[in-house]
Amino acid sequence: MRLILKSAVALTIAACMSVTADAQKVRLIEGDVAALKGQTEINTVFEYDHVAVGKFANEQDYIDKKKAEYNKKEPGKGDAWEKAWKADRKERFEPQFNTLFTENSGDIKSGDFPTAKYTLIFKTKFVEPGYNIVISRKNASIDGEAWIIDSATKAVIAKLTVDDCPGRTFGGYDYDTGVRIRESYATAGKGLGKFIRKKND
């Protein structure tokens, strides 16, 4: 009986986590994604020009605070943290977004394809880093905008918002901030890919 109860609890937790992972909101706010029908590649670039982080309206203010705190505890630790914070974009976030978009968009492969007819510009607007201290945790999340443009003319084909993209790993072993945020980008890529596929089916 105890084994059955444990199994039921495990299944319930897994189900809840699956729901959370798909909880992003994708909305078309301008244009149409129909132009992407039949495309096999999309050139995807990322912008981080105006990003709010947690309670900070400006990302640099957040970086300066965390960097100072870490350096106070251990000289040099804050500098290393700042480098990792920025390096995670190319090394973790963007590849994960592209992978999940590709897996869920049908036939469109997302990545560095400068000769592709269309370009997807993903503009990160907000990052909640979250935390995990074993006894307490808060999921990461991101909000962003996705602009689909004609690669040659730069004309905007469509604008979408991709909000409330949660990030956590199965089992909760996401003590590293970069790991949590990486999963938020995975959720964003997955949601956007599914949205485009559904609109063009």
Task: Express each pLDDT in 36-61 by its tens digit.
Answer: 999 999 999 999 999 999 999 999 99
Q: How confident is the model at residue 135 (pLDDT cuts 50, 70, 90)?
A: low
Flag whether pLDDT at 118 surpasses 70.
yes
Across the range 70-88, mean pLDDT stands at 95
Residue 65 in domain: yes
pLDDT higher than threshold 80 for residue 164: yes
Q: Is 14 among the domain residues?
A: no
Q: What are phi and psi of 10, to 5 degrees?
A: -60, -40
The number of domains in the chain is: 1
Cβ 140 vs Cβ 166: under 8 Å = yes
Judge whether 1 lies within some domain. Answer: no
- Name the phi and psi angles at 110, rounded to 5: -100, 135
Residues in the chain, how many?
A: 201
CA atoms within 13 A on the CB side of 77: 10
What is the model's pLDDT at position 139?
A: 78
Q: Is residue 69 included in any domain, yes or no?
A: yes
Task: Give the pLDDT mean for 90-104.
Answer: 98
Q: E strand or H helix at 16, and its extent? A: helix 2-21
Helix or strand (DSSP H, E) at 142:
strand 140-150
Sign of CA dihedral 108, 109, 111, 116: negative
- Please report whether residue 11 resides in a domain: no
User: Which of 137 and 151 is assigned the larger pLDDT?
Assistant: 151
Q: Is residue 41 part of a domain?
A: yes
Distances (CA, A) of 117 to 107, 152, 159: 15, 7, 17
**Domain, as residue range, for 99:** 24-200
Residue 18 is predicted with a pLDDT of: 34
How does pLDDT run across 16-33, given as a tens digit for each residue?
A: 333 334 568 999 999 999
Residue 13 lies in a domain: no
SS3 40: coil
pTM score, whole prediction: 0.85
Cβ neighbours around 42 below 10 Å, total: 23
Range scoring the smallest mean pLDDT among 132-136, 159-163, 189-193: 132-136
Residue 19 in any domain: the answer is: no
